Amino acid sequence: MTIYQILLLFLLWVCLPHFCSPEIMFRRTPVPQQRILGARVPRSDGKILHRQKRGWMWNQFFLLEEYTGSDYQYVGKLHSDQDKGDGSLKYILSGDGAGTLFIIDEKTGDIHATRRIDREEKAFYTLRAQAINRRTLRPVEPESEFVIKIHDINDNEPTFPEEIYTASVPEMSVVGTSVVQVTATDADDPSYGNSARVIYSILQGQPYFSVEPETGIIRTALPNMNRENREQYQVVIQAKDMGGQMGGLSGTTTVNITLTDVNDNPPRFPQNTIHLRVLESSPVGTAIGSVKATDADTGKNAEVEYRIIDGDGTDMFDIITEKDTQEGIITVKKPLDYESRRLYTLKVEAENTHVDPRFYYLGPFKDTTIVKISVEDVDEPPVFSRSSYLFEVHEDIEVGTIIGTVMARDPDSASSPIRFSLDRHTDLDRIFNIHSGNGSLYTSKPLDRELSQWHNLTVIAAEINNPKEMTRVAVFVRILDVNDNAPQFAVFYDTFVCENARPGQLIQTISAVDKDDPLGGQKFFFSLAAVNPNFTVQDNEDNTARILTRKNGFNRHEISTYLLPVVISDNDYPIQSSTGTLTIRVCACDSQGNMQSCSAEALLLPAGLSTGALIAILLCIIILLVIVVLFAALKRQRKKEPLILSKEDIRDNIVSYNDEGGGEEDTQAFDIGTLRNPAAIEEKKLRRDIIPETLFIPRRTPTAPDNTDVRDFINERLKEHDLDPTAPPYDSLATYAYEGNDSIAESLSSLDSGTTDGDQNYDYLREWGPRFNKLAEMYGGGDSDKDS
């Protein structure tokens, strides 16, 4: 603890004695004997209010924070007027921190704080006290509330919310210009003493900046601070409590201040005269060099606009301001000619685009320089007299006719001779040619406007002494029309006339087209080549004509087709005409004139099939393909049926074949000898009672002895084939002449019919249906045979 803090605690101890030994006396007053404190206060209803004196009265307790003693800090004392000092009363404390932070002596009522208290954590505590009879535990005083208020000491230094501040102020600012405000906070109690009263001062940054002690506002302290001289400043500000007096606590922060730029510097050219060179062949827009004026400012304050303000080359050159580099790019404005002029002089000015009126006195914010441009000679290519040529010629001119001439010269002083040629990539058909000496362009093939109305050629002019120096020019040749094509039918006409047609009936409207393009437009005339007794042509005078009938009724059985020649002519010079023939079919029509049927005689139609016919043919092909696919699928899925389908054909052995084999003599499928001796099977001999789909290697089975019963043998072979996974499922039924013992049906063979004891009646076979009629006929007539 510092000496200042010890003196402060001592002064507080002397000036405020009730802080150290507060004692609250409680005076118990019986309820019947009430003491009246204060004056009577009349109420609105006429009654008088009385104030009752309580047994104990409460005041606030005060406690200094940050106690550093070794013992518990004494807060105060509670005492009731009922306390006789015999220990019969017990004091109870409850509320904020009771029992932990604050403890009370049950007998004496002394209150102590058990640890150091920080006012910045909590400024006051609210507790409740009560005095009870220790023996009966009944309260002798009602519970009452009191407050322990923590008195502040200067134990917190001022703090800034930021360790480093960043601020800026324009350069050349006047003295006192506000830069930024910094504020420090003190956690001590501002309502008690000067512990929280903060005063600001500057520790670093003088004499450029100052700070207001009360507000913390930093201001400029020097006039005309120039960014170009110094841009960054670091200022250290101190905040001190206790009003800045000695012994107060303090905190510091750093403020980095940047001077921002203003336009206080004009642009300056580093040279008074600049020399540039340019070739005379440089095309328009070519950059020949650059000029640049320096400006100490930055950003938009350093932006410069360049212009040519004087000189003898203002018409030949231009200058463009490059925004990124702040340079003036000088470009060629018009074509140059070394032979005409070799030196140009320009006066270029550079001026700031953003000028601050406050700094006009530092101006003017512009500068000028002289630019001298020398034109250098080059070997130039020939120059044509025009940028392009247009020639017009009729399509009927003779081959070799000159259609125009191009002219070119060498602009150099040497004036080399010129050689002309055609770029054959623009005249692949070699219709034109050019005279290499004088540039005369003439035809080498006949022209046809209907094939190509325009020809775009390129003529090349090159120096004979230096062929690499060449120039190209476009030559456009327009072919003018000549009436050299006769009109024709516009379309093919499929014309028919009804058998019941009347004279003057319209059967067809025709029109014509012409490849020529006369200036006055197309005009056609229609007529018949010869007088026709059946039809006539009526010109509509609008480039169309109508075909009309001249007689009443036609007979398609007599004449089914008429050919009508029609003459079509134009009105241009010379007149061109052609004859087109209409094929008119005679057809049967209804009363409305709709065609129903025509002669089946073949007509000459244009080659090719219509869209409908092609679609019909495609549909037929698709239907045939579908039928073939279905037939193949049905044939593949068809089951293998036996060859003997009639159930009336009764034999001892029923064998099904999928092909016609050897007939009844073919007993290879049920050879009993083969069954008894499987080794007798011929190698790779296929069965003929079925169509083998897959070949399997035959299994070798042991040979059965000769005395083996056929039933046992067949059962053994059947079981063996049932368990054989490689055995194919043959649809073959082989019945052997062995029925076993105790057959119920017995034998139906007629071999033993004669050895029976008595005659049998086979008439019942007729009742079994038509399938047994054959047996009934064979055996039903036995009696008649015997009788005979």
Select from 456, 480, 504 the last residue of a domain: 480
Name the residue among 311, 305, 160 with its Cα closest to residue 240: 160
- Distances in Å between the Cα of 538 and the Cα atoms of 461, 521, 541, 549, 669 are 61, 22, 9, 11, 93
* Calpha distance 781→775 (Å, rounded): 10
708 occurs within a structural domain: no
pLDDT at 657 over 60: no
Select from 236, 260, 284 the last residue of a domain: 260
Residues in Cβ contact with 120 at an 8 Å cutoff, skipping those fewer than 6 apart? 156, 187, 188
Average pLDDT over residues 430-449: 93
pLDDT at 689 over 80: no
* Calpha distance 307→346 (Å, rounded): 10
Higher-pLDDT residue of 628 and 783 is: 628
Give the tens place of pLDDT for each residue, 186-236.
887 787 778 788 999 999 999 999 999 999 999 999 998 999 899 999 999
Q: How many residues does the chain have?
A: 788
Whether 519 and 570 share a structural domain? yes
Whether 589 and 499 share a structural domain? yes
Whether 141 and 180 share a structural domain? no
* Lowest model confidence (mean pLDDT) among 9-23, 633-647, 665-679, 742-756: 9-23
pLDDT bucket at 596, cuts 50 / 70 / 90:
confident
Helix (H, G, I), strand (E, B) or coil at 301: helix
Whether 431 and 499 share a structural domain? no
Residue percentage of the chain with pLDDT more than 90: 37
Query: Residue 422: what pLDDT?
Result: 95
Select from 429, 455, 480 the last residue of a domain: 480
Whether 472 and 561 share a structural domain? no
Higher-pLDDT residue of 521 and 431 is: 431
Higher-pLDDT residue of 337 and 785 is: 337
74 occurs within a structural domain: yes
Whether 500 and 578 share a structural domain? yes
Average pLDDT over residues 80-101: 84
Helices (H) and strands (E) in the chain, counts: 6, 42
pLDDT at 515 over 90: no
pLDDT at 697 over 80: no
pLDDT bucket at 57, cuts 50 / 70 / 90:
very low
* Calpha distance 146→156 (Å, rounded): 28
> 461-482 in b/e burial notation, b at 16+ Cβ within 10 A?
bbbeeeeebbbebebebebebb
Higher-pLDDT residue of 627 and 142 is: 627
Higher-pLDDT residue of 97 and 721 is: 97
Residues in Cβ contact with 477 at an 8 Å cutoff, skipping those fewer than 6 apart? 391, 392, 393, 403, 404, 432, 441, 454, 455, 456, 457
pLDDT bucket at 478, cuts 50 / 70 / 90:
very high
Query: Residue 785: what pLDDT?
Result: 43
The residue with tokens 């009771």 is 98
Whether 387 and 409 share a structural domain? yes
712 occurs within a structural domain: no
Structural contact between residues 489 and 401, judged by C-beta atoms closer than 8 angstroms: no
Helix (H, G, I), strand (E, B) or coil at 765: helix
Q: Looking at this protein, which amino acid is placed at residue 408?
A: A
The residue with tokens 């827009």 is 285
Whether 439 and 526 share a structural domain? no
Quote the pTM value. Answer: 0.42
Whether 494 and 589 share a structural domain? yes
Structural contact between residues 475 and 406, judged by C-beta atoms closer than 8 angstroms: yes
Residue percentage of the chain with pLDDT more than 70: 76
* Calpha distance 93→76 (Å, rounded): 13
pLDDT at 246 over 70: yes
Give the tens place of pLDDT for each residue, 172-194.
999 999 999 999 998 877 877 78
Q: Give the DSSP letter of residue 678.
A: G
* Calpha distance 4→195 (Å, rounded): 13
679 occurs within a structural domain: no
Whether 409 and 464 share a structural domain? yes
pLDDT bucket at 546, cuts 50 / 70 / 90:
very high
Whether 125 and 174 share a structural domain? no
Q: What's the CATH number where 443 sits?
A: 2.60.40.60
317-322 β-sheet, strand order: 287-291, 327-332, 317-322
6 occurs within a structural domain: no
33 occurs within a structural domain: no
Query: Residue 24: what pLDDT?
Result: 42
* Calpha distance 281→464 (Å, rounded): 19
714 occurs within a structural domain: no
Higher-pLDDT residue of 287 and 122 is: 287
pLDDT bucket at 414, cuts 50 / 70 / 90:
confident
pLDDT at 610 over 90: no
Quote the distance between the C-alpha of residue 21 and its chain's center: 84
Higher-pLDDT residue of 17 and 73 is: 73
Average pLDDT over residues 514-525: 85
pLDDT at 720 over 60: yes
- What is the chain's mean pLDDT, rounded? 79
Q: Which pair of structure tokens corresponds to residue 179?
A: 């830069």
* Calpha distance 142→131 (Å, rounded): 8
Higher-pLDDT residue of 710 and 590 is: 590
Q: Which domain holds residue 312?
A: 273-374
Query: Residue 656: what pLDDT?
Result: 54
Greatest extent of the chain over all pairs of C-alpha atoms, in Å:
177
- Distances in Å between the Cα of 351 and the Cα atoms of 265, 295, 302, 314, 365 are 11, 10, 10, 18, 6
Whether 146 and 218 share a structural domain? no
747 occurs within a structural domain: no
The total domain count for the chain is 5
